[in-house]
Amino acid sequence: MRKILAIKNRRLGDTALWTAALEALHDFTGNKIDIAYPAPYASLFDSDPRIDKQYHLAPNISSNLKLLKKIREVKYDAVLSFHASRQTEMFVRFSRGKKLLVHHHGRAARPNSLSKEIPNIGLPMSAIERDLNVVRGLGWNSQSPAPRLWVGPIYKSQGEQLLTPCLKSSMKKLAIHVGASRRSKQWSLEYFVSLTRLLGEQFEVIVLYDSPPTSLLWDCLEKSSHLIHTPDLPSLIGCLTWMDGFIGADSGVKHIAAALGIPTITLFGPESVGEWHGYDLKKHRAIQAPVGCRDQNLENPEYAWCGAEVCPLASHACMSQITPEQVAAEALAFFY
């Protein structure tokens, strides 16, 4: 197969995870591949040597119909949709690709005419492996690669400018990110303040943020760490390239850090470690409290999860039981 189009219309973390499957596709075909993904994440692929043509998916259907017309003209040998929705499934069906594969990534098996060749549908496994199953549907059968991002010199230079005061120190640089995609996945800002104080003598602690929380604790955080504003993806990526370690909640930023090859410690609350931490545990650690309120997939504790946007329990036990002292001890043992 000479011309392959890979499609993934998901959020930031899913897009970073997808790069493992792109690596497998590139290795399998020996050719550069074309990709389609959400426009806001273009910075992830600016310097990627595996990629040829890039299509940027829009939120609205009408814009994507115009894009579909361009794709149909190429007449791809294969069009693959990873973690598909109904909309992207229809997009693939009308793409005029010679071979079509669509994976809905659901926890329950949903085989259809476009997924019958994809192995392991519906089995519990990491999101990385589910993406790789689409490539296995083409006949690839090699060792699973890890997610990987390339960073161009412009982004690295941008990060260096933002981090100039921090880079003068000989201490290891530890990035902390306080955000998450939903409130139930966030560790408390008070805990982050305590963590920066515990680690401040061993590391240059650098808190990366896109917009500051509206809390008096933000001033306390400023006293115990370097606060670096990264309002866009290029500045975030550029800063992360200079880091020796990363600590944060399960988020897109964590997956970018991991794909850049930075050792990470992830604070898992409601989400499944099995699904969203399919990394080499020698390089990427996960901390999760053993609570009983992850009420989905209870039959398999490693894949149990909770989908609440805001914790319905006052204690927010899944995150509050992870203490700053526990995380600091893990960081000192892991990053040194």
Q: What secondary structure letter does DSSP report for 285?
A: E
| 211 and 79 together in one domain | no
The CA distance from 117 to 113, in Å, is 9
In a domain, 143, yes or no: no
Residue located via tokens 């969203």: 276
| 214 and 319 together in one domain | yes
Number of domains composing the chain: 2
The CA distance from 166 to 309, in Å, is 35
In a domain, 315, yes or no: yes
The CA distance from 331 to 309, in Å, is 28
For the record, the structure tokens of 245 come out as 């370690």
Q: What secondary structure letter does DSSP report for 188?
A: P
- Domain containing residue 118: CATH number: 3.40.50.2000
| 113 and 161 together in one domain | no
Report the pLDDT value the prediction gives residue 59, as an integer from 0 to 100: 87
pLDDT in tens, the chain (336 residues): 689 999 999 999 999 999 999 999 999 999 999 999 999 999 999 999 999 999 999 988 778 999 999 999 999 999 999 998 888 999 999 999 999 999 998 766 677 889 989 999 988 999 999 999 999 999 999 999 999 999 999 999 999 999 998 998 999 999 999 999 899 999 999 999 999 999 999 999 999 999 877 787 888 998 999 999 999 999 999 999 999 999 999 999 999 999 999 999 999 999 999 999 999 999 999 999 999 999 998 888 899 999 999 999 989 999 999 999 999 999 999 998
In a domain, 144, yes or no: no
| 106 and 167 together in one domain | no
| 128 and 158 together in one domain | no
The domain boundary residue, chosen from 83, 105, 136: 136
Q: Which domain range does residue 45 map to?
A: 4-136
Report the pLDDT value the prediction gives residue 86, as an integer from 0 to 100: 87
Q: What is the largest CA-CA distance in the chain?
A: 59
Determine the straight-line distance between the first and last CA of the chain, rounded to whole angstroms. 46
